[in-house]
Amino acid sequence: MASKKTTRRGFASGDRRDFSGEALVKLGEAQEEIQWLLGRGYRIGPAVDFIGSHYQLSSRQRTALQRACSSSKLRKRRLSRLLQPEAACGGCMHIDGFNLVITLEVALSGSLLILGSDGVLRDLAGLRGTYFLIDQTEKALSLIGKTFRELSVPEAVFYLDAPVSNSGRLKSRILEHASGWGMPVKVELVPNSDVVLSGMERVVTGDSVILDRCTSWFNLSRKIVADNIRDAWIVDLEDKKITATD
């Protein structure tokens, strides 16, 4: 078995400061203004840069906003293609492997997750071509298998980006776990999972690029977190109940 590092996936020491209290109130205001701009045709990058500079936000806060925000047009389009969990038994799931596993690892590590305006959980871990198995990887894969059994998923294919380090090791661990799931599971190492999954149906991902191009998708990471990781740290910047004392 590959060695695993004991670490907190996606952890940054300044997150409690940058995503609580007054900072959280400021981020909520920034998100509202960014989405106003998106609704008027501005691109996400320039909109985040403009509003982020106005509020003097850190690079990590700006990344969070970029992952949280989407125009109302994109949200409606994504949600129109969202499949409910009960549809999971109707065919093969096509899974953005790194996206799903890392989101769960972050949740299990107690690190920050951002709830996007489209209802998708997104992390700030930043893969950047480097991945390693950690102590939470095993638990993440166990929760995926548990959820597959509960939803009676008949078949699944995981797609992993081959250029990312240790993609082969993660493939081996997925297949080892899947041997006990009672269903056919394949793991494909591909040059670019975004390209492969774009245009597919029954996709599992939180990647905005794929969500805008696939024909149907499951919000599986949010369901797994909601059902099994009750103490996950999730920040919803659209929560109007946020106050400076939170």
Residue 41 has pLDDT above 60, yes or no: yes
**Using an 8 Å Cβ cutoff, are 111 and 105 in contact?**
no
What CA–CA distances, in Å, run from 194 to 98, 142, 177?
A: 11, 25, 24
Q: Please count the residues of the chain.
A: 246
Helix axes 167-178, 135-151, angle to 10 degrees: 40
Q: How much is the pLDDT for 2?
A: 46
Residue (of 123, 97, 142) closest to 11 by Cα position: 123
Q: What is the pLDDT, as a whole number, of residue 22? A: 94
In one letter, which amino acid is 141? L
Sheet order of strands, 203-204 included = 82-83, 217-218, 203-204, 93-96, 156-161, 185-190
- Residue 233, classed as helix, strand or coil, is strand
Report the distance separating Cα 150 and Cα 226, nearest Å.
14
Residue range 22-48: mean pLDDT, rounded: 96
pLDDT digits (tens, 9 = 90+) for 156-215: 999 999 999 999 999 999 999 999 999 999 999 999 999 999 999 999 999 999 999 999
Between CA 102 and CA 123 the distance in angstroms is: 8
User: What does R_g of the chain's alpha carbons equal in angstroms?
Assistant: 18
Residues 6+ positions from 176 with CB-CB distance below 8 Å? none
- Strands 185-190 and 156-161 turn out to be parallel
pLDDT, position 39: 94
Q: What is the pLDDT of residues 53-76, one digit of tens each?
A: 999 999 999 999 999 999 999 999
| pLDDT tens string 223-240 | 999 999 999 999 999 876
Determine whether 206 is exposed, middle or buried from the number of CB atoms within 10 Å of its CB (0-12, 13-18, 19+): buried
C-alpha to C-alpha distance for 51 and 62, rounded to whole angstroms: 9
Tokens, residue 65: 């906003």
Cross-strand pairs, 112: 233
| CA–centroid distance for 3 within its chain | 25
The answer on pLDDT for 243 being more than 60 is no
